[in-house]
Amino acid sequence: MAHIPLHSSGYNSRFSPPPVLAPHAPSSLLAAHAGPNKENPFPLPHSHVHTDPSKQLPGVPRVDALDPSPAPTCTPPHHRPLPPSPTKTTATATVNHYTRPLGGTARAAQQSQQAEPTMVQLLASQGTAPAHYASRAGAGDVTMGNATGVLSWRKGQGFKEWEKLKLNSPEVKRKADVAQLFFYDHYFDLLTYVSSRKSRLAAFQSSISSRPTLTPAEISCEWTSYTGRERVLLRKRRTKLKVDMFHVVTQVGQGGYGEVYLARHKETNQVVALKKMKKRTLAKMDEIRHVLVERDILASTSSPWLVRLLYAFQDPEHVFLAMDFIAGGDFRTLLNNSGVLKEEHARFYIAEMFTAVNELHKLGYIHRDLKPENFLIDTTGHIKLTDFGLAAGALNPGKIQHLKHKLDEVADSPLVFRSTLEMKSIYKSIRMADARYADSVVGSPDYMAIETLRGQSYSYGVDYWSLGCILFEFLAGFPPFSGATAEETWTNLKNWQRVLRRPHYDRPEDRIFNLSDEGWDAITRLITHKDRRMSTLDQVKTHPFFRGVDWPNLRERKAPFIPALDSEIDAGYFDDFSSETDMAKYAEVREKQRHVDAVAERALDAKLARGVWVGFTFKAKKEEDRLLREKEQREKQKSQEEEEESLYTLF
């Protein structure tokens, strides 16, 4: 029988034998590779010492060349290493060639350094500091608290200008944030899984111990069942998200870059809104960054006021965002059906919108594209904010130039003053003719702040301008700057101070729609110059128009409108994409898609479409685990009910 060596601690080591190191391995490595003992209860993982010269960079010492003196190995006395074969002479000479700068003469080292640069020189030429250099220079450990961005080995120089620009670019900052979140999520998930697995094992052992009458065969059967369930969990952790995991019920949305579907996760039965977008189209239209920002916002929020991201995944051609399905449709549908809101209802909805936008601002984002279409109504009748595609740090320069050009075009256009009834009638006619007016190619700046349109600097206040325009529409029935044509709307915005007027109705039957003094004052405190505008939620709360609003308990209050739904997959508040009438609304959007598809693809676009989506995948693990537990509980309850019913039938 072969001799099985024992560690100094006395336990059998046949399941984790230390590797036999090379004859010239230093004693420090031997200590690191030895098994656990009193001096080192947590040994480092085993590693293999590479001696192949083809795997060694020129000028970099090998691990086994750091200590030229022979050191004892961990080989048992009766297993002495054999002398090297004569056929290994050439390989040994090659190895000595690479280690000669450290073990040979000074002249040999000088010749080697002149012939090939050392790794320190290579790192310096690439702008990278070697890890050991700072400590040798006396800089000490670099931590998050004392990091200054200036490398100690380039003290006095700092980063070059191109390095600073690259470090401060939004793409690099986003990748750094995504990488940080990835590792946080990875290790949190790993530790959570290990902890939950130990808990399940303890529960299993407790269950077995509480039943002493079990036979060994029954215990073996229970153990087989337990390990089978653990294998299923492990397999799920390795499973990659695919669109095939979702059952598509119907289409509920259409945009310029993709479609939105009502879908159900096949495993958890979770109902989601599945947004599908083409990678190449996003690259052509320079919309990749907007989608990445939207993904980051959706993934980082747990607020009930914002739509949550449940899954984000991709295939070679598309990216997918699976979000909460908000069954009540968007607020535009409610406005089209109601026309003008009562002041008490307008106060309730705009208060919820202010709260939702404030939650977005807490995350450090500005929406910049607020309109009624961006607010969804959930099953309880309350508001959720969505569509964060433009919620980034800065608008696309091309977008800014386009907006400024639109304003310049109407600089000399005559200003048309219309009565309140005329403006309301014109806007209603436009909405009746084009239900997707806000999604059209030309678009409408009805709700965009004037500083955004002019390409000026802006802050969170631009969203409060937009909410002021929405409040005006709630109470008047039309946006404050809408015109009969897009050009007239731009002209009104150019002269917004002269156009913004208090709606007034003279007919007795319409006087009910006249705004109160508090309502009009709130609007003029929102639609005004940015330095005089209400731009925080605290300022809004103190305004007399919102007197009596119970801000902390808004979601507990019964909403004025609650959607009537037949089931959790009822899509009645969305357009029917199987109807030719509803599909006609999206004719311009589909034409835009065809135009984008016809644009020639550049090489850069193809490259971006492949490589820029690294780190896009996301899974809301807590939500998935909760749904799986609920599903298991429902199945268990159903099986118990069936068992009770069968027993009742028998007796």
pLDDT in tens, 145-182: 444 444 444 555 677 777 778 787 777 776 777 677 66
pTM: 0.61
Dist CA 225 CA 214 (whole Å): 15
Instruction: Report the pLDDT value the prediction gives residue 621, as an integer from 0 to 100.
Output: 64
Chain-centre distance of CA 351, in angstroms?
Answer: 27
Q: What is the mean pLDDT of residues 383-405?
A: 62
What average pLDDT does the structure give for the chain? 71
29 vs 309, more confident: 309
Instruction: Report the pLDDT value the prediction gives residue 527, as an integer from 0 to 100.
Output: 94
Q: What is the mean pLDDT of residues 443-471?
A: 85
Instruction: Report the pLDDT value the prediction gives residue 138, as an integer from 0 to 100.
Output: 43
Instruction: Inform me whether the pLDDT recorded for 607 exceeds 90.
Output: no
For the segment 82-140, what is each residue's pLDDT rounded down to a tens digit? 555 444 444 444 444 444 444 444 454 455 444 445 544 544 554 444 444 444 444 44
Give CA angle at 543 (541, 545), nearest 5°: 105
Q: What is the mean pLDDT of residues 271-284?
A: 87
555 vs 87, more confident: 555
In the beta sheet, which residues pair with residue 247? 264
Lowest mean pLDDT among 51-65, 215-229, 363-377, 613-627: 51-65
581 vs 105, more confident: 581
Dist CA 309 CA 273 (whole Å): 10
Q: In the annotation, is 597 catalytic?
A: no
Q: What is the mean pLDDT of residues 290-314?
A: 84
Residue 284 annotated as binding? no
Instruction: Report the pLDDT value the prediction gives residue 282, as an integer from 0 to 100.
Output: 83
Helix (H, G, I), strand (E, B) or coil at 384: strand
583 vs 440, more confident: 583
Instruction: Report the pLDDT value the prediction gives residue 608, as an integer from 0 to 100.
Output: 54
Instruction: Inform me whether the pLDDT recorded for 356 exceeds 90.
Output: yes
Instruction: Report the pLDDT value the prediction gives residue 344, as an integer from 0 to 100.
Output: 93
Is 3.40.50.300 the CATH number for 330-564?
Answer: no
621 vs 285, more confident: 285
Q: In Å, how far are 31, 443, 482, 528, 580 from 451, measured between CA atoms?
A: 67, 18, 18, 11, 40
- Cβ-based neighbour number of residue 645 at 10 Å: 10
113 token code pair:
């350094």
Instruction: Report the pLDDT value the prediction gives residue 47, as an integer from 0 to 100.
Output: 41
220 vs 45, more confident: 220
Options 64, 369, 378, 387, the catalytic residue:
369
Instruction: Inform me whether the pLDDT recorded for 651 exceeds 70.
Output: no
Instruction: Inform me whether the pLDDT recorded for 391 exceeds 80.
Output: no
Q: Are 247 and 264 in contact (CB under 8 A)?
A: yes
Instruction: Inform me whether the pLDDT recorded for 548 exceeds 60.
Output: yes
Lowest mean pLDDT among 158-172, 176-190, 509-523: 176-190
> What are the φ/ψ torsions at residue 263 (nearest 5 degrees)?
-140, 165
Q: Are 495 and 450 in contact (CB under 8 A)?
A: no
133 vs 484, more confident: 484
Q: Are 492 and 499 in contact (CB under 8 A)?
A: yes
> What are the φ/ψ torsions at residue 640 (nearest 5 degrees)?
-65, -40
pLDDT grade for 379, boundaries at 50, 70 and 90: very high
Lowest mean pLDDT among 25-29, 358-362, 415-419, 423-427: 25-29
Q: Are 452 and 342 in contact (CB under 8 A)?
A: no
Instruction: Inform me whether the pLDDT recorded for 76 exceeds 70.
Output: no
The kind and range of the H/E element at 624 are helix 621-650
